[in-house]
Amino acid sequence: MKIGERLLKHLNKKYEPSRMIAFRFGRYDVATKTDEAGNPVLLFIGKADDRGIIKGDQFTRRLLKDASGAIVKDHWDYKGKV
């Protein structure tokens, strides 16, 4: 599974730092964990059960920053099924 442009646009926003954010995106349930700067770095996408646990795919974000804190590289790695 690939992350589409519409979902990437949603994931490039800043959120509350160090939190798990859950939302609905189309027909999928999405949960994302943010880092201390509020950037989503862990993504679960699929179908949530009654306890809120998502069965689907997992992605991790690789952010590479320079000395001043500007983002040099930004990509999502597919980590498999969860």
Q: Give the model's confidence band at 69: pLDDT under 50 very low, under 70 low, under 90 confident, else very high.
A: confident
pTM: 0.90
The residues that bridge with 58 in the sheet, in sequence order, are 44, 80
**1 has pLDDT over 80:** no
pLDDT tens, 32-54? 999 999 999 999 999 999 998 99
In the prediction, which pLDDT does 55 show? 97
Q: How many domains does the chain have?
A: 1
Q: Across 1-82, where does the E strand assignment appear?
A: 20-25, 28-34, 40-48, 54-65, 71-81
Task: For residue 33, give its domain range.
Answer: 5-81
Question: How far, in Å, are 47, 57, 68, 71, 79 from residue 65 at the CA level?
Answer: 33, 26, 8, 4, 22
Give the other-Cβ count within 10 Å of 79's Cβ.
Answer: 13
